[in-house]
Structure 1
Amino acid sequence: PPPYSADERSCAAAAEEMLRVVDMDHGVCVVLGCGRGEFVYELARRSNLHVIGVETDTAQLAAARKALLRAGLYGNRATVLQVESLEKTHLTGCWADVVVAARDGLQMEALRLAKPGGVVAQPVSVRAGPGSSNTAPAIDARPADQPFWHISRRPELAGAGVWSHQYGRPDNSAFGGETLAGATGTDELAVQWVGRPGPRAQADRNGRKPGPLATGGRLFVQGLNRIIALNAYNGTILWSLEIPHFERFNVPRDSSNWCADERFVFAAIGGKCWRIDARDGKLSKVYDVVPGERKGWSWDWGYVARPSDGLLLGSAVRAGTSWKIFRGKTGWYDARRGPVTYKICSDNLFALDVETGQRRWVYSSGVILNSTIAASGDRGYFVECCNRKVVGGESRRIGAAELWQDQFLVAVDLATGRRVWQRPLDTADGTVVFDLACGEGKLVLVSSVDAEARYHVYAWDAATGQRAWEVDFSWPKDDEGKPIDNHGRHMARPAIVAGRVFVRPAVIDLATGRLTKTNMPLGGCGTYALTSRVSIYRNGYVTIWDFEKDRSTQWSRLRPGCWLSTVPACGMVLSPEAGGGCSCGSWLETSLGFIPRSRLVR
């Protein structure tokens, strides 16, 4: 039988109407002033929300727990908590999907608890005032033609960024616009949530797999043959989708296999790209790869990006080219030479209409190095090789010396696919890694050269293709002065923000190419992600480096993956588990979200 009498369940219709108005079935709902728990019960049994009732009165809380336990909801779908004050609870802020302010005077606290973009629901007329024993809203307390609920939303966080692509945005700059409200160290960040996913959903940390994505208040984690979507602000698992053959490793010599926008996740799987609804994980569209011109080959979808409204970018790579091994010595992908350093190359670059799937354009000339494809504004950029031996070769994992001959840096118009400019390229051979990024009006190319144990960095004006500067420097060195050629120290890539280019260990002035006096902390294995003031990277643990003050702080025992697994986005630092299988020590092996402490203050 229901745990409440018919009189006590007068709020049933109110719950029904609120769920209809807010159009939300999953997530966390807080009821400020839950009384005996009637409204908590009605919401929990009518939705998939996890409902948390908050109350000051001990007797009412005891009654609520008893009733919800009898209904089989307590501790699973519903919880009630005691606080000293409803106007100023001890709960963290910026986390609830829906907050019900069931009494007068609770609007400010409700807004503090709500996540950015979250809903605050307040009865237009609350029957019972503060101190009443019956605080459940009753729908018969208003005229039939008057809406029962006043609905408002918490504004999005100012200065919050996105992480929609492997390196922040399609420009590969490793900066997605995040400011972290000015936070520059772990001491200025608080744990917002902790929990799933753990290591079981993941491939081992060593494979240098695609990083997480974060857009629209959601965090997307790529596990082994699966995608897991979380609420970025409270860690709730929104959905999980298993996808056979959805895997890619050795990303430093390739491109990622997924990206996201505010509405969808785009996943490259074999010769297709799936468009997956970010809200519920349902497949909404499948796009076919535009095949290359080579006869007798089958094709996989290689590069994928959402550079602008209406466009989906892709590339065609010979089927079976991208790496899918993550076990054993091969799956380490840390070598300075040999087959794992060969560059994954595509035979074309194309654009589709994201809504209809109709082909907009195809660019095909030579072979395109996937790690150099970037997009910014209305242009796409990449390095292509037009050497006949390379183009006519049977493999698109290319390590031949001819790859570094007949190269061009190309800019194309994203609306038409036509060349805007093309410049002959003669760089040091990037035999270890070879990466292109765009930021603040410059294109920056980094070539890591095995034979020299050095980085060569080049810059061009993105608008004209005019060479701006070049500089070179050694890989980091050990205490004996020898270049370090392991744990990613020889695999640095360009990151761009605040007039600087970061190529660990160097910090370069973007305008002039001058090496600054500041050096990045060495770190290891992984690459780095930027906010407007800090670099987030792996130095044993997840570490934050304030590049203005040259100050480093870190979270002990929080282990990231071996490429990129901790990203700044949605106003937070998001660190899904990616260190599973690491033999270097004992780690937390859990996912966490951190938020600037300043965000939690009313």
Structure 2
Amino acid sequence: MKELAAEMDKLNQPMAACLKWQCNAAGLCSMVLAGDVLLAGGQDKVVAIDTATGQVAWEGTVKGKAYGLAVADGRLIVSADSGEIACFERPWLFSRATRKVSPPVRAPSVSDLYATAAATIVEQTGITKGYCLVLNSGEGRLAYELAKRTQLRICAFDSDAKRVESARQMLDAAGLYGARVTVQQCSPDRLPCPDYFANLIVCDKAICLGALPLFGKELLRVLRPCGGVLFIGQPAPTLAPERLRKWLDAHGLSQGEIVQANGLWAKFTRGPLPGSADWTHQYGDAGNTACSDDRLVKCPLGVLWFGDPGPAKLVNRHTKPAAPVAAHGRLFIGGDNVLFALDAYNGFPLWERPIPGARRVGTHFESSHLVATADSVYVSAAEGCLRLDAATGETLATFPPAGEARLYGGKPPSAEGQPRKWGYLAVSGDLLLGSTALEHTLRFLDEDSQMALARKQVPKMVISKLFAITPACFKTREDVERKLASLLTPEDMTKWGALLLQELPMGGVASDGVFALDRRTGARRWSHGIPGGYVAHIAVAAGGGRVYLAQTDDAT
């Protein structure tokens, strides 16, 4: 036995020499490593241990045994056998010495060359958002300079493994790698990228050596339609204009131009895909055709991209909210009093804007509140109809014009001159079409805990049905809208439609007039009143210079 014990001690000595530290934290059952911090879970607790010293730097409390640990976005998420899920925000961060790092110092002439090139690219293309493809990326210097000046997400590619590694190290030291810039090794004739993803294509090797890419067909595959730009050249040119022109023509880019600004550059801006079309209204166009003129989309279909905005700020789909609309390579998604704009070809978020009252539901009996054109997006909201810049989301105009807004409170007037909500919305040619929707209000009555409908020409039949509803049925607007849809007949819904809680007025789904404005200036072109009658918003269509509507002259 003594010999065996001696032999065991002899075997354990190398293992003991490898041991850096021990931490006597009892009852641990799970571990996860996050950087240089070890996170461990046990009975009713989680701890953070410094991997350099083995000391417990932090301890948190949970209910039950912490079997599941996950780290994301600087947070620790813990699941315990009690069913509890706990989240701790950056609990394990403790004092450490930090140092500021910078990219490697280059010769002034080289650094200036890339700085000038990046500044020229941004100035001449105007592209500061989206995805940028850097060909023959070398040591990553062009990618670095572009990342400093823009919000671009940059994908750089080079065929040489050593250059790729050097670029990664430099960009990582600058705090850009992974978050803003990625560098991959690949052959330039087949890039590992989806079709149409690149808003901007540039070439590092052309900057320093004047070498031009060889695979123009592959560049066209990945260049985004509707404004994607290929911009290749030099600040201090060794290239000749004739060579750049020959290169453009040889690669199917003959519509490109030669730019002589801070050097010599070939610039090709891609237009819409031949045969493509937009989806500008809820049902395709102002004519409600539910049919696009697109001749390109065919089966089999696949995923081009996926991403934001996600469901958090969107309206519950069961309430049948307005569908997204798209025009000129931009996708517009209406949320719960918010509007999102995304690049339709790669999903890059262009802008997000809160808009009070920009919310439509029940589109099976109501019109949408969104219309898109190449330059604008129109939104029917609480303050009227907004015309927004499609590229930036900035307000270009609010309709009706200022003079009418003072008279009618910013809402379209009815045939009798009384305020109404903006109901139907469409764009046909240069005309902005709208309607004067009836206002209804739904509210709680605290005294008897019943619902009441503001009595504004509302049929008694509808009121009697609403009085049967108790407030306990409703916790959200969606609850009200679903209940109304189950109680009212299609005829009732056509006239009186979706209603809101807490005395929030909303236009119904019918109007007592339609009108047309100049879509840019707001100047009134014509109006059509329906005294004593109504037109359902889903019964209006426009096209060929005409507007078609189904109206009733009977208010009963």
Instruction: Judge same fold: TM > 0.5, yes or no.
Output: yes
* Structure 2 CA distance for partners of 1:146 and 1:19, relative to 1, 3 Å: closer
TM-score calculated relative to the size of structure 2: 0.62
Partner of 1:306: 427
* Structure 1 residue 233 displacement after superposition: 0.7
Match of 1:284 among 373, 376, 396: 396
Separation in 2, partners of 1:318, 1:239: 32
Matches within 5 A, 1:466-545: none
SS of 1:290's equivalent? coil
Separation in 2, partners of 1:377, 1:22: 37
Structure 1 vs Structure 2: percent identity of aligned residues? 32
Name the aligned partner's letter for residue 341 of structure 1: M
Q: What's the CA shift string for 1:289-314, capped at 9, x where partnerless?
A: 4300346x431111111110x21111
Name the aligned partner's letter for residue 305 of structure 1: A
Name the aligned partner's letter for residue 231 of structure 1: D
Partner of 2:218: 109
Name the aligned partner's letter for residue 389 of structure 2: D
* Structure 2 CA distance for partners of 1:169 and 1:144, relative to 1, 3 Å: closer
Separation in 1, partners of 2:351, 2:156: 24
Q: What's the CA shift string for 1:433-492, capped at 9, x where partnerless?
A: xxxxxxxxxxxxxxxxxxxxxxxxxxxxxxxxxxxxxxxxxxxxxxxxxxxxxxxxxxxx
Matches within 5 A, 1:264-283: 264-283=376-395
Separation in 1, partners of 2:259, 2:349: 39
Separation in 2, partners of 1:258, 1:145: 41
CA contact (8 A) 2:377 2:387 kept: yes
CA contact (8 A) 1:374 1:381 kept: yes
Q: Does 1:193 align with 2:314?
A: no
Separation in 1, partners of 2:167, 2:301: 34
Separation in 1, partners of 2:276, 2:332: 17
Separation in 2, partners of 1:22, 1:261: 22
* Structure 1 residue 55 displacement after superposition: 0.9
Separation in 1, partners of 2:351, 2:129: 10
Q: Does 1:371 align with 2:523?
A: no
Q: Does 1:315 align with 2:418?
A: no
Separation in 2, partners of 1:61, 1:222: 41
Match of 1:347 among 512, 517, 534: 512
* Structure 1 residue 126 displacement after superposition: 7.4
Match of 2:146 among 25, 33, 43: 43
Separation in 1, partners of 2:383, 2:422: 5
Separation in 2, partners of 1:81, 1:231: 24
Q: Does 1:383 align with 2:553?
A: no
Separation in 1, partners of 2:237, 2:191: 21
* Structure 1 residue 156 displacement after superposition: 2.1
* Structure 1 residue 8 displacement after superposition: 3.8
Task: Say how many residue pairs are matched.
Answer: 369
* Structure 2 CA distance for partners of 1:333 and 1:19, relative to 1, 3 Å: farther
Q: Does 1:88 align with 2:190?
A: yes
* Structure 2 CA distance for partners of 1:14 and 1:354, relative to 1, 3 Å: same
CA contact (8 A) 2:259 2:266 kept: no
Partner of 1:330: 481
* Structure 2 CA distance for partners of 1:358 and 1:65, relative to 1, 3 Å: same
Q: What's the CA shift string for 1:142-188, capped at 9, x where partnerless?
A: 9987742210123421221211001000010111212334x13xxx2
SS of 1:196's equivalent? coil
Q: Pick which of 324-333 and 21-30 moved more.
A: 324-333
Name the aligned partner's letter for residue 479 of structure 2: G
* Structure 1 residue 321 displacement after superposition: 7.1
Separation in 2, partners of 1:338, 1:4: 74
Name the aligned partner's letter for residue 521 of structure 2: T
Separation in 1, partners of 2:422, 2:333: 20
* Structure 2 CA distance for partners of 1:7 and 1:333, relative to 1, 3 Å: farther
CA contact (8 A) 2:511 2:536 kept: yes
Separation in 2, partners of 1:233, 1:249: 27
* Structure 1 residue 56 displacement after superposition: 1.2
SS of 2:364's equivalent? helix
CA contact (8 A) 2:535 2:550 kept: yes
Name the aligned partner's letter for residue 369 of structure 1: A
CA contact (8 A) 1:100 1:110 kept: no
Separation in 2, partners of 1:59, 1:65: 10
Q: Does 1:24 align with 2:146?
A: no
Separation in 2, partners of 1:321, 1:167: 28
* Structure 2 CA distance for partners of 1:172 and 1:25, relative to 1, 3 Å: same
Partner of 1:162: 278
CA contact (8 A) 1:111 1:120 kept: no
* Structure 2 CA distance for partners of 1:26 and 1:7, relative to 1, 3 Å: same
SS of 1:115's equivalent? coil
Runs of 5+ consecutive residues of structure 1 not aligned to the other structure: 129-141, 391-401, 403-602
Match of 1:62 among 161, 165, 183: 165
Q: What's the CA shift string for 1:485-544, capped at 9, x where partnerless?
A: xxxxxxxxxxxxxxxxxxxxxxxxxxxxxxxxxxxxxxxxxxxxxxxxxxxxxxxxxxxx
Match of 2:525 among 349, 355, 360: 360
Separation in 2, partners of 1:161, 1:336: 40
CA contact (8 A) 1:271 1:299 kept: no
Separation in 2, partners of 1:69, 1:379: 60
CA contact (8 A) 2:200 2:231 kept: yes
* Structure 1 residue 2 displacement after superposition: 4.2
* Structure 2 CA distance for partners of 1:30 and 1:168, relative to 1, 3 Å: same
Instruction: Indicate the structure with greater strand content.
Output: 1
Matches within 5 A, 1:152-301: 152-181=268-297, 183-184=298-299, 188-288=300-400, 289-294=411-416, 297-301=418-422
* Structure 2 CA distance for partners of 1:336 and 1:160, relative to 1, 3 Å: farther
* Structure 2 CA distance for partners of 1:89 and 1:383, relative to 1, 3 Å: same
Relative contact order, CA 8 A, sep 6+: which one is greater? 1
Instruction: Indicate the structure with greater helix content.
Output: 2
Q: Pick which of 18-27 and 310-319 moved more.
A: 310-319
- Report the aligned-residue RMSD: 2.7
CA contact (8 A) 1:225 1:244 kept: yes
Runs of 5+ consecutive residues of structure 2 not aligned to the other structure: 1-101, 240-257, 401-410, 443-452, 454-473, 496-508
